[in-house]
Structure 1
Amino acid sequence: MKIRQQLVKNNKQTYGGVNPLHGVVVHETGNTRRGANAAAHANLQTNGNSRDASWHITVDEKEAVQSYADNEQCWHAGNREANTTRLAVEICVNEDGDYNAAFRNAAEVVRMKRIEHGWTRANVEQHFDHSGKDCPSRIRAEGRWEEFLDLTEPEGDKTMSVRTPSEAIAWSKTQTKGYVGLCLVFVRSCFNIAVKYPSAAAAWAAAKKKHHTSSTAYIPAGAPVFFDVPGNKYDHVALYLGGGLFRTNYSAKGTVITASLDHPVFNTMRMLGWTEDLNGVTIPGLTQTESAAKPTGGKYTGNSIVDYLASVGKDSSFASRKKLADQYGIKGYSGTSAQNTALLNAMRGGSKPAAKPKPSKSVAQMADEVIAGKHGSGHANRRKSLGISAAEYERCAPR
C-alpha cells in the first residue's frame, strides 16, 4: 500500500526532537462524522490543528496519508515517553466510510513499518497501553486486537518468536534509556512478547505460573520479577539477571539500569515473586533450578541486605531497614549502598543494636528518686541503676 505524503511544514505541535522509533501506537480518530476520512484529517494537520495533538499517519478505506515524518516526535499518546519514542497511526471511523477496509489498510501500513524499522509484534501497541484511554475503542470493544496484530505480520512470519531467558537478558542490556513509567513494556519487550495488560499489577494477577518469594535466592536468571509499590496501583516488574541483580527502568532518571534490591529504585517496594509466564505467554526454558531453589549451605552468603533479611525471616522493606539502621547506629538511613553494606555487616557480624541512651536527669531529680527508694539500697547498686559515674553519684547521694 502506498502512503501519500502531505507533510506539515512546521513542527509547532511536536517536541522538535528526533524520534528513536521504539515502536508504533495504534489509535482511532473517534470522529464518526461524514467526510471525516484520511484526507480530511491530513488537511486538519496541514492547516494547523486547533487541538494540542499531532500524529504521523491517518488511514481510511481508500488511502493512507502521512502528515509527519516517522522521526518526528508527535503529541498522540498522552504520555511523553510514548510520544517521543513511537510512531502514531490513526484509523478513521467516519460513518460514511468502510471501517473494516480501513482496519485492514491500517494493519498493512503497520506491517510495512514493521519491515522498514525492524519491529516485532511486541512493538505494536495500543493508545490504551500508555494512558489508559479507551483507544482504539472499536478494536477493543469488538475484541479484534489479536486479529489486527496477525495482519501486521510480515509474510512467512505469522508466529512471534519469544526470546529465551538468556536472550532476554542480552537484549535488556542493549537498552539504556527511556521506558519512563513503562516497566511492563520494557520487560515484555525483553522477551519479545506482545502487549496485553495495562500494568505490572494486572500482569501479575493474570499470571498462571506464579512463584511467591521475597528473596532472589529462589529466582532463576531471566525471570520477570514483580513488586508491590505502596500507593501505586500499577506496581512494578523487572528482569532478574542473576547474582542478586536486576535490569529495570528507572523512571526518576529516565534510564534503564542494572541494580540490586539495595538500590533506591527498589526502596519502597516489596517483592511479590516471579512468574514463568508473561502476558499469557509461557517463557521457554524458565524453570526454578536446584541452585535457585536453595541458598548455598542453607545460609545466605550474598551482599544484599534485602536478601539477607529475607533469609533470616525478617521484614526487608525500606521502613524496616530504616528502623534497623537506627538501632545499629547508622544515622540518616536513605538506602545508599554504603549504608546497606554497613547494616549487613553489622547484622551478619553478630553485633547487637546500640543501646538507647537513658534520658538525662538533673541532680535534684536523681536525688529525689534515691530518697524515694526507686534505685534500691547500697551506693553501688543505686549508682548502677542510675547509670552514672561515681563522681556524679556523689552529687546526688543522700547524706
Structure 2
Amino acid sequence: MLGPATVFAAETTPLGIYAVKIAGTAPGETRARTYLGIQLLQPANFGGLVVQTDGKRFTFNGASELPLHSDADKEYYVHAINGPGAGFIARIEAYEGAWVRCDQDLGAWLPPGTQFSIRPNPRLTDLFGADNRFGFVSGENAAQSDKVVLWDSREQEERIYYFNSTRSRWEEKGIEADAGNTPIRYPNGLYIVRHSATPLRIALKGEISADPVLLPVRDGANVFSLPVNLSASLANLVSSSGPFAVKSGKNAAQSDILSFEDPAGVAGSGPFYYRSRSNDTGWRAVGTNDSDAPLQPLDMLSTLVLRHEGEDAFVRVNADLTAPPGGPFVPPADPDPGELPLEVEVPNPVNPSPAELTIVLETSKDLATWSPVSFTPRADHRVFFQLPPAKAVPSTGSVSNCSEQRPASS
C-alpha cells in the first residue's frame, strides 16, 4: 500500500563550478598570462584522526585499507585540518602496511589526535581533459601551442606543457613523453598563455573546502592557489601575526611582497606588504601609505603571487565560507557576441535511480542563498544543466542540499 510522498533531505559536500575566460593575444602583442588557482579540490578519499607519528610516517584507524581506495596513476597528499600544524600539506610517497610515508618529517605537524584529509592532486588530464576538452590551440611543439605553465618555486623556473597535435596528448616542452598524469601539487597555482587571438572559455570543478592552508614559501617568486574565502580581502585571508605570518619590515624592501591575480583579469590587486614600525603597523600598498586597499574585497578565485627573500618559511591563509552582508565579490559578466552557455554535467547522487525518485538540485553563488535549478535526467545517471556566458562566475553551480522525494510504503 502506498501512502503520501515522503521527503528525505540530505546535505552533501558542496561542489563548485567556475567558468574562466582565457585571454587571447593578438599578433605582435605581449602574450598575456591568465592565472588559475586550484580552489576547487579533488574529492577526499580518506580522512580521520592521526593515531601515531614516526618521522615521515603516520598511521590511523583504517590506514591499511588506503591502497584499496587509491589510484596508482594519481599522486596523493595529506592535509592537517586542525592542531598546531593546521594547514600543513605533505605528499604521500608510499603505503607501508598500517603506515603512510610522506615526503617530509611529520612530528611537529601531525601529532596524535590531529584531524586530516587525504586527497589526490589534480592532473593535467583532470583539469583539461585527456582529449583537450576545451580546445586549447595545439601544435607539433610548444611554440605553436597554448601553454599551461607550472611555476617551480624551488628551482625558480617554469615547467611548460602543451597539447601535441601529432600525438594527441599532453607533453612537457622539449620532452617527447605523455605528460597527462603530471600533478598540479596543491597549493601551487598555474597560468595559461594563449597562442591565439581568440579568447577561450574553460570550466573547472571540485569540492569546496573550508580548511586553512600553510603555503610553503621559497626564496624568490611563488605562485599559490588559495582556499575558498567568500569574505576574501588581504586583511582576513593572509596571516600577519603568529608563527606562520608573512615576513614584515619597516618598508617593502624588507618584507614579503604579495600580488593577487584574478582569472578574469579585471580585479588584480596589489602589490602589498605588511609594515612593522613602532606605532605604525599594518598592510600597505607598495609605493604608497595606502592602508585602505588591503581591506577591499578580492575575487575569491584569485591566485597569489608572493615574492620572498630569505629562508624557506610557511604562511597561513584562511578559508571562510561565510558570505559577507553584501555578498562575495563577483566580477561582472562579459560574454563575447554569440558566445554559448557552458554545458555542465554532474553525477547523480543516487545511482541507480528508481523511477519514482526525484532529485532536487540547488545552486548558490555565495553558499548562503540557494536556488533550485532545472535539469534533464539522463539515462547514464548524470544531471545536466547550463552555466550562462560570463567572464568569471565563481562557484556558480555549487551543488549541495540534494533532497529526494519518494512514496512511503508499508
TM-score per shorter chain, which class? under 0.3
Larger fraction in helix? 1
TM-score normalized by structure 2?
Answer: 0.25
- Answer with 1 or 2: which has the greater Rg: 1
